[in-house]
Amino acid sequence: MSNSLKQLLAAHQARTETTLDHWLPKPSIAPATLHKAMRHSSLDGGKRVRPFLVYSAGQALGAELSQLDGPAAAVEFIHVYSLIHDDLPAMDDDDLRRGKATCHKAFDEATAILAGDAIQSLAFHVLSHDKNIQVNAERRLQMIDHLAKASGSRGMCGGQAIDLESVGKNLDLPALENMHIHKTGALIRASVMLGALSCDDVSDTQLKQFNHYANCIGLAFQIQDDILDIEGDTTTLGKMQGADIARDKPTYPALLGLDGAKQRAQELYQEALASLDSFDDKADPLRWMAEYIISRSN
């Protein structure tokens, strides 16, 4: 990771942490256990890639950071809720997330389900109420709609359903990519689009370019996850290494081989960069993130 990206990522992580803490109910407020569980899963962990994309896309178009705090927090809340539910025994049954106990292990399954539900609804509360989002009502509704679609059956939840149905099956490349365009890619795409939609004067052409960039890095992100499931280690990953293999899940290395998966990630990286050709150096953080996604070790 370059020093420029490291510094900017750290700055956005700190800013995201502050914003999440602002919107999360305090543990002193009843129901205290639920609020503690929400904070356990939301704070003090994660790379905050999705908020980084919100900030970077918005700033590439001239938005102020304060305008992007709400959308960044909303996207991260959706991501956190999905992780809580993914980790449940009925889903992936994981004990470790972001280097600490998963929500249902730190509390209990019922509390984890409720925490995920509450965090999901909080995301939309933020988008609809944050006074620093400087767009008109129609554009704000567009932002809410993007996040809702990315979260539901036509996005992340749909991708997870396909994933569960695909365990033990041999998927071809189009089917595998369709699954991950929904499961992982939808929320990454929403992150970029919410950043762009925070600017009233963004053009349709720019939105299409950002959308293509997001599709490419979303797939590349999943490919690298699959590669790390083989080459990574539990301590570095913050979750159990080899979990996908153990569950007989369809992965890019299983379909393409390890070298083929790495080559596909490189192809997507080059496509992502090409989609930003018409943008100036204010879009460099998006370029840095694309490179980081295919070279990260956790």
- Which alpha helices (DSSP H) does the chain contain, by range? 3-23, 32-42, 49-60, 65-86, 103-106, 109-129, 137-151, 156-166, 173-183, 185-197, 204-231, 234-237, 243-246, 252-274, 284-295
Q: Is residue 201 part of a domain?
A: yes
Domain that holds residue 14: 3-293
pLDDT grade for 238, boundaries at 50, 70 and 90? low
pLDDT on residue 237: 47
Q: What's the mean pLDDT in 171-182?
A: 91
pTM score, whole prediction: 0.91
How many domains does the chain divide into? 1
For residue 135, being part of any structural domain is answered with yes
Instruction: Give the pLDDT score at 280.
Output: 95
Q: Say if 298 falls within a structural domain.
A: no
CB within 8 Å of 137: residues ≥ 6 apart? none
- 178 within domain boundaries: yes
At residue 137, the pLDDT reads 93
**pLDDT given for residue 167 in this prediction:** 85
SS3 178: helix
| Residue 117: inside a domain | yes
Where does the pLDDT of residue 233 fall: very low under 50, low under 70, confident under 90, or very high at 90 and above?
Answer: low
In a domain, 78, yes or no: yes
Q: How far apart are CA 293 and CA 76, in angstroms?
A: 17
CATH of the domain at 182: 1.10.600.10
pLDDT tens for each residue of 59-84: 999 999 999 999 999 999 999 999 99
State yes or no: pLDDT of 12 exceeds 90.
yes
**Is it the case that residue 201 has pLDDT exceeding 90?**
no
278 in any annotated domain: yes
Q: What is the DSSP string of 56-96?
A: HHHHHTT--HHHHHHHHHHHHHHHHHHHHHHTSTTTT--SE
SS3 of 149, please? helix
